[in-house]
Structure 1
Amino acid sequence: MLRMFSTVNGQIERIERPTDGAWLSLTDPTDAELASVSQESGIDLADLRAPLDDEERSRVDAEDDYTMIIVDIPTVEERNGRDWYETIPLSIIVTENLIITVCMQDTPVLHPFMEGTIRGFNTYMKSRFILQILYRNATMYLRYLRIIDRESDRLELKLRHSMQNREILMLLELSKTLVYFTTSLKSNEIVMEKLTTLSRIKQYPEDEDLLEDVITENKQAIEMANIYSGVLANMTDAFASIVSNNLNNVMRIFTIISITLSIPTLIFSMYGMNFQQGGMLGMPLTGNRWGFLIVIVVSMLLSAIVTWFLTRSRLFR
C-alpha cells in the first residue's frame, strides 16, 4: 500500500501526488508501487526492497542522491489466541525533496504521524521526522517490554502450582523475544551513533534535546530488555525445578498408596490359597466365627500403621 502525506497549514493531510517535502509511506508494497516510487524518486529498486526482507540488518547507507536508514521496529502478531512479539526492519529513505518509509507490515510506529497526533511533526523537517520516528520506535519497545514483564508475572503465578510444560514453553518464547529485542536495540543504537556524525542529515540546535531523548529512551529499552531477559532465564530454570518437584510429590503419594494397599493384598492373597482343614497347614482364625472380620480389622490396622510411618519417614519427604 502506498500512502502520501504532506503538511499543509500545520496539519498533516493525505495527498494523491508526491510534492516537495512530502512523505511517502510504503506498507507491504506491490511491485508496481515499488517501481512507481523508484521512477519518481530515483531510488534504486533494490534499496526499496531491502526492508521487505525480515532478516535485513540495521544500517545507514549513503548513496549519491539519497540516504537510507534501516532500523528494527517491534511488532506484535496474534497466533493461537496469544500475542507473539518480534522485530522487523523499517527503512527511512531521505532524498532532496522526499522522505520515504518502507515496511513489510502496517506498523503502529507510524500511525500517530499519519493521524497528525505527534507534536511538532512536519513532513518538511526531515531530520526532525527521522528523530521522531526513532523516538517513537524506542517508546514502542519500552511499551512491549512492560507488557512482556506483566505476562511473565502472570505465568509465574500459574507455574507455582503447575505440572505442565505449557507455561514453561511460554516463558521460553518470551525469553527468545527479549533476545531479539536486545539485539535489535543494540543495532539501532549503532545506527543512531552514525546519524550523529552523518553530514547529510543536518543537525539543528532545536533538535538536540530530541536527539538526547532518543538516545536515552533507546538505552533504557536496552537495559530493561537485559534485566527482563536475566530474570526470565532464572525464572525458567527455577520453575523447571518446581515442576519436577511437583511431579515427585505426586509420585510420593502414589508410592505410599501402593505400599499401603500391598499389605491387605498380601494378607487376603494368603487366605485365598487352598489349605487343608485342620492341622499345621490351616490358616489362623479359619475356624473362628469372627475370623473374617478379625482379619479385615488386622489388615486395616497394619495399613494405617504403615501409612503413618511412611508419611513421617525421611525417605518420603
Structure 2
Amino acid sequence: MAGMKPWTLRGGVAVVTGAASGIGAALAVNLARRGMHLALVDLDAAGLESTAAQARAAGVNVSTHAMDVADRAAVAALPAAVLAAHGRVTALVNNAGVALGGLFEQVDADDFDWLMNINFGATVCLTRAFLPLLAREGAAQVVNVSSIFGIIAPPGQTAYAASKFAVRGFSESLRHELEMNGSPVGVTIVHPGGVRTAISENARLAKGLDALDVQRERANWRSLLALAPEAAAETIAVAIERRAPRVLVGQDAKAAALVQRLFPVTYWKHVARDLARRIKRKPA
C-alpha cells in the first residue's frame, strides 16, 4: 500500500481467530514458520491445542484462548489476556466464520442473526478491541477474511453473503479512515474461493429442508472445494507480508471476481453455468 511503513512478520504477534481448523489453523502454522508469535482463538479447545503444537514446533511463543468470538464480554477481556502472554500485538486476523444453508424464506431469524453475530459482529468487536494496541506499533495489520461470496452473491446464501459483503464494506471504509488519519495500521481483505475446509459440512441448516436435497447440495459444494488450506494460507501470508489491501485466494475466486466486474448485474447466470460444468466434471 502506498504510504504504508515497511514491516516484517518475524518477531511480531498475530491474533488469529478460527484457528482450530481449516484456513485459520493452516495460516497460524504458516505465520509461525515466518517467525510470528501467536495468540490463537477458537471455541474448539482441542483443535486449538493441536494447531498450537504445530506452531510451537517452529520455535515461537503460542497462547491459546478458547472462547466464543460472539461473546462480547470475552472479546473485551481478550486484549488484556494477549498482552499478558505476549506484551504486544502486531496483527489481528479475523478468520472465524460459520455457514447457514437454506433460502431466505426458509431460514429462521434467530439463525440468521447467529451467523451475522459471528461472521460480521465478531469482526467488528475484535477490531474495536485490538485497534488501540495495533496503533501503538510502528506498523501493524488488520486482516479480515471475507469470501468470494463477499463479491458475488449466490442463491441459498443470503445470510452468509450478507455477512461477507458487510465484512468487505467495513474493511474498505476502515482502511480509508486509517489512511486518512495517517495510522500505522493497514487493512487486508481476504476473499477465498473454494478451500477444502469443513465449513459447509458444519453449516447450520434451515428447518424443514429435505435430507436428500441437503446431501446432494453438500456433495456439489464439496466437489468445488479444490484448494488445500495450506495453499490458501501461503497466499494469505504473502499478502499480509506485503500489506496488500485485497487478496483473491484461488483461481476460482479470481475468475468469479472478473465475471462480476464484467457483468455487475447479470454475473450469476455466467457463474452458475460454470459451476454446473465443474460439478458435472467431478468424479462421484
TM-score (norm 2): 0.28
- Ranked by relative contact order (alpha carbons within 8 Å, sequence separation 6 or more), the top structure is 2
Query: Which TM-score applies when normalising by structure 1?
Result: 0.26
* Structure in which a larger fraction of residues adopt helix: 1
The structure whose Rg is larger is: 1
